[in-house]
Amino acid sequence: MCGIVGIVGRPGENVVGKIISGLEKLEYRGYDSAGLAVVHDGYIDVLRAVGKLQNLKTKQEGSKIYGNIGIGHTRWATHGKPTENNAHPIRSGSVAVVHNGIVENYKGLRFDLQKDGYVFETDTDTEVIAHLLQRKIAQGCSPRDALRSVQEIIEGSYALAAIFMTFPDTMVAARYRSPLVIGFGEDICVGSDIGAIASIACSEVAYLEDGECAEIIGNEVSFFDASFQPISPKRQKISPGFVSTGKGEYAHHMLKEIMEQPSAIRRTILSNKPDGRMFDGVSRILIVACGTSYYASMVAKYWFEKFLKIPTDVEIASEYRYRSPFIEENVLAIAVTQSGETIDTLEAMEYIRKNSNSRVAAIANVRNSAISRIADFVFYTEAGPEVGVASTKAFTAQLTILASMAFSRHEFLINKLRNLPSICEEILDLQYLVKDLAEKICFADSAIYLGRGSLYPIALEGALKLKEISYIHAEGFAAGEMKHGPIALIDDDMPVICLCPSGELFDKTASNIQVALARGKNVVIFTDPYGRKHLPQEVTKIILPEIIEEFAPILYVIPLQLLAYYVALLRGTDVDKPRNLAKSVTVE
């Protein structure tokens, strides 16, 4: 969740501006508060601000904070409200620390530290890390040994970096179940992801694995494994593709990323050619995912069972491993995650590995992410950096790969899949119609989305997008289930968004629409030329191009993304950074 930047610069250099630049690339990870700390002339100066990074920048511009070694943080609050007092860096005596993750045993550690006379000034779990480090430094330990002792004590997840007043040229960093990388360039850098350190002139990176740590002294870096033995991790060049190009001509990252979907799908098709033989001998497919990726996986269940004839289970990763599920023989497990760092999905994957002999595949948008390093084989969505918190192009790229896998034994469908980008462009040309529709529903308190078959998960996804960025309560339902409860909500003010393309389930969905119309007048239908003729004429309809039925999930989600975007604009919410949300979920 939270974003971490650390820089060890050259003597006399002021790294404050570079820390701010790195945090700008990480603000999607959390914008409850932000802060930085630097070592200068034997002191640690700390600057923190509540809210978005701009508030910290404003403070920094009016200050004289200066130093050649420092750490920065953007926070997504877990323990303690988003206040300046709880903002990172957290300081204890001669130590300042930034932390992403959760210290699960912090209450016991806090009690022990209080008995030793340590006073707690924040509500965060991170403060125990700062005090533990300070205690070891006060006992004469080196920063490296102090860090190691902390790693042996704390339980939970962490990515952390710390600086020291009494060791002004030293920074230490460590990770466990939360991403952290070391960058090499003009300076030595620490970051939560590559984009942050690439923006501050790093050209190479080394990944820390679980339990590993690094000590940076000047321009020298020492790495240690989970047993604290010296190691030499491989350094990799940073691809330009890791660096976001900004919003360009668009007002928001989300709109830019919606409009990039044709090219993202095209690149994903060209770069991924699943072989149908990967399913030979597979008796069951198990997919684990969270959030939007879970809805993409739900669509895949329809495809896999229809075209591969293999039973498929889709599990919410955060629930799966706590059920102690039985995994039969000859299962192919697929983990789907945009960031490749989603902690619940990683833990579900580890459970599968420990409790079965299943092969594990991963679908991710970030190369060298944690999930891609532990899977047997990986498929990459070629969506490029996605900065908007509400996923758009990463979702359709995931669907594209899952479709490629499902259709891998059907050459006709694989060939037709190549037409998707041009059809996407046609749909994006209809955005003016969706914008007009947004004006009709932007004042609603709630909304219902209906779909059948493989469009049921798209109804869920459409509702999720609306609630994520407009704060309208919205729910998606299987259209046939409407009469089993949700129908009680329908009145003339309730928007009912219906997905009704021509195909096998058209008549069934059309009947459900009639039931909704009998109880409310605010019904909107996304359909195609066939639906224009055969659905009630008095109802608002958005007519999409005629397509092969199997491709409808990929294409019908696009106008729902646009609808959420334009409704959010009209309601004046922060489209790219919706309240309480962060892009990469690295805590349970």
**Could you tell me which of 237, 128, 151, 183 has the C-alpha nearest to residue 6?**
183
540-543 and 523-527 strand pairing: parallel
Q: CB neighbours (10 Å) of residue 443?
A: 12
Contact predicate 550/413, CB 8 Å: yes
| Amino acid occupying residue 438 | A
Contact predicate 72/57, CB 8 Å: no
2, 202, 213, 500: the active-site residue: 2
Q: CB neighbours (10 Å) of residue 149?
A: 16
- DSSP annotation string for 85-150: TTPSSEEETTEEEEEEEEETTHHHHHHHHHHTTPPP-SS-SHHHHHHHHHHHHHTT--HHHHHHHH
Three-class SS state of 369: coil
393, 465, 467, 583: the active-site residue: 583
Contact predicate 299/458, CB 8 Å: yes
Contact predicate 187/7, CB 8 Å: yes
| Amino acid occupying residue 549 | E
- Tokens, residue 104: 């699960």
Q: Can you tell me the distance from the alpha carbon of 565 to that of 216, in angstroms, rounded to the nearest whole number? A: 44
Contact predicate 418/298, CB 8 Å: no
Could you give the C-alpha distances from 171 to 204, 206, 219, 265, 392, in angstroms and in order?
19, 16, 11, 42, 37
Tell me whether residue 583 is one of the annotated catalytic residues.
yes
Tell me whether residue 59 is one of the annotated catalytic residues.
no
Residues designated as active site: 2, 583
